[in-house]
Amino acid sequence: MHWSHSFYERQNALIDCYHAPIHPVHTALAARVTGHRGQPGTLLELGAGGGQFAVAAALAGHDVTALELMTGAGEHTRRLAAQHGTTVRTLTADFYTADPGGPFNAVCYWDGFGIGEDDEQRHLLSRVAGWLAAGGTAYVDVYTPWYWAHHAGFTRRTERYTQTYGFDADGCRMLDTYAPSGEEPFTQSLRCYSPADLRLLLPGTGLSLAEVWPGGAYDPRAGVYHPEVPLGECMMYVAVLEPA
Ligand SMILES: C[S@@+](CC[C@H](N)C(=O)[O-])C[C@H]1O[C@@H](n2cnc3c(N)ncnc32)[C@H](O)[C@@H]1O
């Protein structure tokens, strides 16, 4: 079984990260996507986790389908939507094989791109191109090599687990390992791409890189997260992808 089929469930069981309420970051991101599109529309979110962005997007007027692999995440998303007086269509499925319907004006994938090898990323991007309506846009968070190479070695220790970041320089992948006390450690490994690398990945997928939106960076020494930093310093950027 691929590591991604167990990592996020184990991470959630350990730190309950996908059951959080909607954060202002989700609302701001939904507003940014809406602003970029000009108006709300049909929106597919891949790897939607606990649905916090999906619900924020529904509240911004989008007709949202949230696709997520984790058992129970769809139920949590629908409950969160109901708490906020809105609805989100949920689909518990694998984005490599699922048929989410569509076409969609926007496809979003936040914090997760790069779980596979390059061919798998290409396959997923081809599927995204096929889900987009004419004039549609995909918004994909992409991890940068520079931040994660620099961040390797950073360790967070709590009473229940130790979390350590690493970097596979040959494969250009960030490594994020949780070691719960008394249990086997488990790791996520995400392929990192600069915009130049991503442009090399895109030919044949039906998508091209239209814009790059730099994201934020966590400063482990100060223990502070800076939400907007230059591209050369950020943890990830949003790749704005349009039909080629
Ligand atoms: C790092 S989490 C991010 C969750 C959410 N996007 C967020 O920003 O809070 C990545 C998510 O992608 C989901 N995922 C991974 N592989 C998937 C697949 N093949 N199909 C659907 N979802 C998948 C995981 O279960 C996990 O919830």
pLDDT digits (tens, 9 = 90+) for 66-82: 999 999 999 999 999 99
Helix axes 52-59, 73-83, angle to 10 degrees: 30
Taken in order 225, 226, 228, 231, the sign of the CA dihedral is negative
Who contacts 105 (Cβ-Cβ below 8 Å, separation ≥6)? Answer: 37, 41, 42, 43, 132, 133, 135, 136, 137
Indicate if the pLDDT at residue 222 is higher than 90: yes
Mean pLDDT of 89-114: 98
Mean pLDDT of 10-19: 93
Q: Is the CB of 49 within 6 Å of ligand 1?
A: yes
Q: Is the CB of 143 within 6 Å of ligand 1?
A: no
What residues does 102 pair with on adjacent strands? Answer: none
- What's the pLDDT score for residue 1? 86
Q: Which atom of ligand 1 is nearest to the CA of 98?
A: 20
Candidates 80, 83, 81; CA nearest to 62 is: 81
* Helix or strand (DSSP H, E) at 237: strand 236-243
Distance 49 CA to ligand 1 centre (A): 5
Query: Which one of 1, 2, 3, 4 would you pick to mutate in the ligand 1 pocket, going by the greatest count of ligand atoms within 8 A of its CB?
Result: 4
Helix axes 52-59, 24-37, angle to 10 degrees: 50
Q: Which atom of ligand 1 is nearest to the CA of 94?
A: 20
Indicate if the pLDDT at residue 39 is higher than 90: yes
Mean pLDDT of 174-179: 98
Mean pLDDT of 48-67: 98
Indicate if the pLDDT at residue 136 is higher than 90: yes
Mean pLDDT of 161-189: 97
Distance 76 CA to ligand 1 centre (A): 14
Q: Is the CB of 94 within 6 Å of ligand 1?
A: yes
* Length of the chain as a residue count: 244
Strands (E) in 131-216, as ranges, are 132-143, 155-157, 161-168, 173-180, 186-191, 207-214
Mean pLDDT of 48-55: 98
Q: Is the CB of 139 within 6 Å of ligand 1?
A: no
Distance 168 CA to ligand 1 centre (A): 21
Is there a cis peptide before residue 103, judged by omega within 30 degrees of 0? yes
Tell me which architecture the domain covering 4-144+193-243 has in CATH. 3-Layer(aba) Sandwich (3.40)
